[in-house]
Amino acid sequence: MRILSMIATFGGLNGATLRLEPGMNVICAPNEWGKSTWCAFLAAMLYGVDTNQRTTKGTLADKEKYAPWSGQPMEGLLRVEHDGRDITIQRRTRGRVPLGEFQAYETRTGLAVPELTADNCGQVLLGVEKSVFLRTGFIRFSDLAVVPDEALWQRLHALVTTGDESGNGALLQTRLRALKNKCRSSRGGRIPETEQRLQELETALSDRQMLEKRELQLRSQYESASQEMQALQRHRAVCDYRDAETLRRQTMEAMEAADQARDAMEELEIQCRDIPETEELESKLEEARGLIDKLRSVPEEEPPSVMGAVLAYILGALAMMGAVLYLLTAELLWAGGMILAGIILLLVGGMLTDRRRRTVLQQHLAQKKREKLVHELLDATVKLQKQLALREELNQACRTADQARLRLQSLAAAGRQILNPETEDALELTLEETETRMAQVTERLRLIQLRLGQCQGRMESLPELDAILREQEVCRTRLGELLKLERALELALNALEEATRELQRRFAPRITAQAQEYLSRLTHGRYSRVLIGEDLSILAASQVETTLRSSQWRSDGTADLMYLALRLAVWVTLNPEGPLVLDDAFVRLDDDRLKEVLALLAELSQSRQIILFSCQEREKRMMATL
């Protein structure tokens, strides 16, 4: 494959164009010109942008690092020559997926190239996975060391062990491991699945047997509770009949009581026909009682005092006696006066006595009259009280009649015709106790039926007993076959791994020889011995050294040459015609060794395209002298 041109809206590149020539392309430009961005753009156009990459504290994800500074959507065109065809690859941003829209078409005709897709573009054009290209044909100063990678290791291993890059040996081992994983894997292996199924069947068998036993127990409990319910229902029927009979008797008694109360009420109504109403009687009774209190509270008038009459008589007698004396003394005038005074005093005493007598007589007559009136009022009060009692008795009779009538209506409404059940009843429970027991038994029946339904539902979710036993037998047979297959696969993998270890003892002779040739040439023969480890680490020794040492023992420039030799050897071996991209990879090389590197690259550019980005002009000057 050869790259013809690139147009990028990518990072700091805003619609920028880069055209390339066959063979060696040396592009010298200052820092921040976009050299590393063009390299990243080429990888993105071939393999897409990894949208799963996340920004960490030390690094930015490519989708953020190379988002166009202009704010435009990320997009680009890559024009290449592949198998004699001029092909244009176009990627645009789709929604929030950078470079998510892919097109590949022939540049001159515009016809689609269906074999190229967004996922396989780099794989088809370069012949290697993205990780292999980035670790071999994409050389940058920041990551010259070749780190282990599964895809790279598989390609190198297949190439150096079989001479065939198809990787059949590794593919066979992968398939055997896949088959073994299918047999026994924690996430879907057939053996664990079969063992789990056997365990499930064993559990199902145990559950079904337990549920069948539980169903029999529940049915027995249900039958016992049903019989108890029937006995309670018979007893309630007997109690209902007894209550109905009692109610019938009470109704008859109530009817008789209502008749009696009605008769008593009618008789009292006849007696009270001429009697005033209760309010009028109470008013009259209150009035009579008030009169009695007033009559009893009238004060008796004091008769005139007897002392005045006695005094008048005494004085009159004294006057008479004085008159006698004056007569004896012949004082007739005084005697006449005394007689006159005595007569007057005696008359006054008689008048006072007569007045007192009349007053006493009047008081006595008034007292007799009051007493008679009080007696009459008391008789009237007694009569009124009797009439009130009769009225109260009538009211009570009315209330009694109403109550009797209401009770009769209530009993008549509650009455019902119940036939004699004529059944044996050995229970000695009241109706309330029977109702309570029936409610308890009903709840027990409901719970038993609910549990029975749950039990039957669980049984319906389980296979039939015969089906469980048949499947158990099938699973045991299948498990035995799978265990035999697992043992066979394990033996095959052990044999293949043993063969692989034997081949790994001679790991990468072609890569090692090629890297040793390149390193010897680039160091003017100083480092002529190279050894590559299984982890793609490189060891080297100079002509005067007896021990192979890693790059950590070498200067920075020599370490760069060691990894450059390894990368070139791997890339030339894996992809003899694929382009090689170098980004400021020779910063730490001196002029002498740089000249040898450029000479080697010039030779390699005869059969492949090489793109060399550098921030220095010395590469261009040296290339001009070659």
DSSP 158-188: HHHHHS-TT-HHHHHHHHHHHHHHHHS-TTT
Q: Could you tell me if 64 and 56 are in contact, meaning their C-beta atoms sit under 8 angstroms apart? A: no
Domain that holds residue 326: 278-414
Asked whether residue 307 is assigned to any structural domain, the reply reads yes
Q: Where does a domain end: 414, 444, 476? A: 414
Q: Are residues 391 and 306 in the same domain?
A: yes
Structural domains in the chain (count): 2
Candidate ranges 239-248, 300-309, 345-354, 566-575; pick with highest mean pLDDT: 566-575
Asked whether residue 370 is assigned to any structural domain, the reply reads yes
- pLDDT bin (cut points 50, 70, 90) of residue 420 is low
Amino acid at 483: L
Apex 81 CA angle, 80 and 85, nearest 5: 120
CA distances in angstroms from 566 to 97, 520, 562, 580, 620, listed in the order given? 36, 12, 6, 14, 24
Q: Tokens in use for 281?
A: 């009687």
Q: Are residues 255 and 373 in the same domain?
A: no
Q: Are residues 318 and 403 in the same domain?
A: yes
Q: Could you tell me if 563 and 144 are in contact, meaning their C-beta atoms sit under 8 angstroms apart? A: yes
Q: Where does a domain end: 506, 521, 556? A: 506
Asked whether residue 100 is assigned to any structural domain, the reply reads no
- Residue, of 593 and 152, whose pLDDT is higher: 593
Residue 347 confidence (pLDDT): 80
Q: Tokens in use for 116?
A: 């190229």
Q: Are residues 315 and 349 in the same domain?
A: yes
Q: Residues of the chain with pLDDT > 70: what percent?
A: 86
pLDDT in tens, 116-163: 999 999 989 988 888 888 878 888 765 555 544 455 555 554 444 333
Asked whether residue 534 is assigned to any structural domain, the reply reads no
Q: Is the pLDDT confidence value at 16 over 90?
A: yes
- pLDDT bin (cut points 50, 70, 90) of residue 239 is confident
Which phi and psi (to 5°) does residue 234 adopt? -65, -45
- pLDDT bin (cut points 50, 70, 90) of residue 565 is confident
pTM for this entry: 0.49
Residue 78 confidence (pLDDT): 95
Taking residues 578-591, what's their average pLDDT?
87
Specify the range with the lowest mean pLDDT, choosing from 300-304, 458-462, 511-515. Answer: 300-304
Residue 2 confidence (pLDDT): 93
- pLDDT bin (cut points 50, 70, 90) of residue 396 is confident
Q: Is the pLDDT confidence value at 506 over 70?
A: no
Taking residues 312-329, what's their average pLDDT?
73
Q: Are residues 191 and 306 in the same domain?
A: no
- Look over the chain and give the mean of its residue pLDDT values, rounded to a whole number: 80
- Residue, of 383 and 501, whose pLDDT is higher: 383
- pLDDT bin (cut points 50, 70, 90) of residue 505 is low
Which phi and psi (to 5°) does residue 87 adopt? -120, 135
Q: Are residues 283 and 389 in the same domain?
A: yes
Q: Are residues 284 and 409 in the same domain?
A: yes
Q: Where does a domain end: 480, 506, 532? A: 506
Asked whether residue 201 is assigned to any structural domain, the reply reads yes
Taking residues 159-175, what's their average pLDDT?
50
Asked whether residue 373 is assigned to any structural domain, the reply reads yes
Asked whether residue 114 is assigned to any structural domain, the reply reads no
